[in-house]
Amino acid sequence: MLVRLIYASRVASSVTRADVDAILACSQRNNARVGVTGALCFTGTMFLQCLEGGRQAVNEVYHRIAGDPRHRDPALLSFEEIVAREFGDWAMGYVGHTPDNRALFLKYCPHAEFDPYAMSAASVRALLAELLGVAQWRGK
């Protein structure tokens, strides 16, 4: 059975751009090995991530992330069974909060600043679907 898990977390104050690059490299390597695909959005202060794959593998990846000190206040935003992956081409795609992408991040958020904690699960899924189609991704 395939599942999709979407979570948000606040970025620990000690996290650098090099740390984010290391997270991506590690995720791409480890996720490919266990059949997990997905995407990571990074705004500088927040992570929003989608993980897709088998239920056990996705849960194991999420629990490792939740225990990682680079992530603060992890919150599960959506967990659902799916029939097909949206991010099947990526062991872990990445999109940053660039000026080009900023409007998309805010389109689905009820606040002037991007806050995935305040978004509905449907809004988060719609944001990721739109980002998949038009945002500037790295890691495909």
For residue range 37-79, what is the model confidence (pLDDT) as tens digits?
988 888 889 999 999 999 999 999 999 999 999 999 999 999 9
Query: What's residue 137's pLDDT?
Result: 53
Q: Which of 95, 120, 94, 97 is nearest to 109 (CA)?
A: 120
The neighbour count for residue 38, using CB atoms within 10 Å, is 25
Q: Which of 94, 98, 121 is nearest to 108 (CA)?
A: 121
Domains with residue ranges and CATH for the chain? 2-138 (3.30.70.100)
Query: What's residue 33's pLDDT?
Result: 93
Sign, Cα dihedral of 132, 89, 24, 62: positive
CA dist 134 and 84 (Å) reads: 20
CA distances from 119 to 24, 57, 59, 125 (A): 24, 26, 22, 10
Q: In this predicted model, what pLDDT tens digit does every residue of 93-129 receive, in sequence order?
A: 788 777 777 788 888 988 888 899 999 999 999 998 8
Query: What's residue 134's pLDDT?
Result: 63
Q: In this predicted model, what pLDDT tens digit does every residue of 33-42 receive, in sequence order?
A: 999 998 888 8
Query: What's residue 23's pLDDT?
Result: 87
Residue 11 has pLDDT above 70, yes or no: yes
Cβ(37)–Cβ(43) below 8 Å: no
Cβ(77)–Cβ(116) below 8 Å: yes
